[in-house]
Amino acid sequence: MPANWGYVIAAYGIAAVALFGYWRHLARRARALTARPRAAVPQRTTPRTTS
């Protein structure tokens, strides 16, 4: 039975990158939202309003 450590490292590495990347993404969004005063947060444009 070969060790296959390469596969194990690849699996854990990709998972770590994905989870850490998501964590950073969340942190950045949270910082962007709290840093600015609320009034300055740009309103989302609504091209079509449902009527």
Partner 1 sequence: MTYARRAWIVLQKDLLIERRSKEQTNALLFFCLLLLFLFQFALGPDRERLTAALPGLLWLGFILAGLLGLGRSFLAERENDCWEGLRLTPGDKSAIYLGKLAGNCVLMAAVEVVLVVLFGVFYDVDLWTPAAPLALVLALGTLGLASVGTLFAAMTSQARARELLFPVLLLPVQVPVLLATVSATQALLLGQPLADVAHWLKLLAGADCVYVTIGVLTFEFVLEG
Partner 2 sequence: MITRVLGWLAALGLLAGLAAGFGYAPPEAVQGNVQRIMYLHVPSILTAYLAFGLVLIGSIAYLATRRPRWDRLASASAELGVLFTAVTIVSGSIWGKPTWGTWWTWDARLTSTAILLLVYVGYLMLRGLVDDREARGRYAAVVGILATVNIPIVHFSVKWWRALHQPSTILGPEPSPIDPAIGLALFVNWLAFTLLFAYFLSRRIEIARLEES
Residues near partner 2, by CB under 8 A: 1-5, 7-8, 10-12, 14-15, 18-19, 22-23, 26-27, 29-30, 33-34, 38, 41, 44, 46-50
For the bound state, the minimum distance from the C-beta of residue 50 to partner 1, rounded and expressed in Å, comes to: 5
Residue 9's φ and ψ, nearest 5 degrees, are: -65, -40
Rounded-to-5 percentages of helix, strand, coil across the chain:
65, 0, 35
Establish if 51 lies at the interface with partner 1 (CB under 8 A).
yes
Residue 2's region, left for phi above 0, alpha for psi from -120 to 50, else beta, is: beta
Which residues contact partner 1 by CB under 8 A?
47-48, 50-51
